[in-house]
Amino acid sequence: MRRLALILIPYLWLIALFLIPFVIVIKISLSDVALARPPYFPQLDLTEGFTGIKAFFSELDFENFTFLTTDDLYWKAYLSSLKIAGISTILTLLIGYPIAYGMASARPEWRATLMMLVILPFWTSFLIRVYSWIGILSQGGLLNTFLLWLGVINEPLTILNTEIAVYIGIVYTYLPFMILPIYANLEKLDGSLLEAAEDLGCSRTSAFWLVTVPLSKSGIIAGCFLVFIPAIGEFVIPSLLGGSQTLMIGKVLYEEFFSNRDWPVASAVAVVLLVILIIPIILFQRNEQKNREASQ
């Protein structure tokens, strides 16, 4: 009974805070938009008890999912989000891996300090950190002013309100999520394996690619998933740094909910997005399970 009670607590938490809200979102996606009595119909009325719940789930309309296939705005937004999230993940990996490798190669007394410097940005509000990039990337911002002072450019660069600014914002924001799992993997790496590889004729570069990178694969996979999954549904960064020209599904979802007040279509967009994210989530869980089995 104690073991059952211990297992039951997280399951009840997931059911109450994820499964039930998700079922309601699915039902809203199968409802009709109600212009005269927003936001949708039929609505869930718990005051009527089981009768109200039954009436809420009695009418199912798949028209909203059909509408997503007829308007190219939505599939373009999904593809654009996948592209931006994928490129951002690759850029984050290219920047984060050397940082994690340097942290793991540092002296033990310096590692805690380096770890604190990586985590330090989380002590500041996410919104403030994104807003700060507006002052850096704008035409009269710090970056253009510095480049003009150096004489590298003759006129200010247009970086803000472009996809480049979105990439910068996502890489900056999610970089710690890439560094930490890779660092945790590299820190446990047995240095004698590199010495053995060098004794067998490998150069340091060859030993790095043949030993270090394969042994840190699980950290790389974990970091890529931790960056890609939230980046694909990002809303704040493309809204503040990308402007109206950047198309991402998070912005479309916001517009449907709050501007168009079309909750059924917005819920359908959210359901499709979650279905897309389930694939990398399942792959991530399988990778973690394999790592646990290999370590036992």
Per-residue pLDDT tens over the stretch 75-117: 999 999 999 999 999 999 999 999 999 999 888 889 889 999 9
SS (H, E, C) 183-200: HHHHHCCCHHHHHHHHHC
Q: What is the pTM of this model?
A: 0.83
> What pLDDT sits at residue 38?
60
**pLDDT surpassing 70 at residue 36:** no
Counting residues of the chain whose pLDDT is more than 90, the rounded percentage is: 20
pLDDT at residue 295, as a whole number:
66
Task: List helix spans (H) across the chain.
Answer: 2-14, 20-29, 50-56, 63-70, 72-105, 108-119, 126-137, 142-150, 163-187, 191-199, 204-207, 213-215, 217-232, 236-237, 249-254, 263-295
Query: Any residues with CB less than 8 A from the CB of 43 and at least 6 apart, and which?
Result: 56
First to last CA, the chain: 27
- Running DSSP on this structure, what letter comes out for residue 241? I
Q: What was the pLDDT predicted at 91?
A: 96
Q: What are the structure tokens assigned to 47, written together?
A: 């005051």
Which pLDDT value is given to residue 28?
A: 84
Q: If pLDDT is split at 50, 70 and 90, which confidence band does 189 have?
A: confident
* Stretch 257-273: mean pLDDT: 85
- What's the whole-number average pLDDT of the chain? 85
Residue-wise pLDDT for 18-30, tens only, equals 888 888 888 888 8
SS3 label, residue 141: coil
Answer whether residue 216 shows pLDDT above 80: yes
Q: What is the pLDDT of residue 37?
A: 60
pLDDT at 96: 95
Q: Are 197 and 213 in contact (CB under 8 A)?
A: no
Tell me: pLDDT of 8 over 70. yes
pLDDT reading at 134 higher than 80: yes
Question: Residue ranges per domain, the chain?
Answer: 1-61, 64-295
CB-based contacts of 109, cutoff 8 Å, min separation 6:
none
Pick the residue with more confidence: 251 or 92? Answer: 92
Neighbours of 111 (CB within 10 A): 15
R_g over Cα of the chain = 24
Pick the CATH number of 64-295 from 3.40.50.300, 1.10.10.10, 1.10.3720.10, 2.30.30.280: 1.10.3720.10
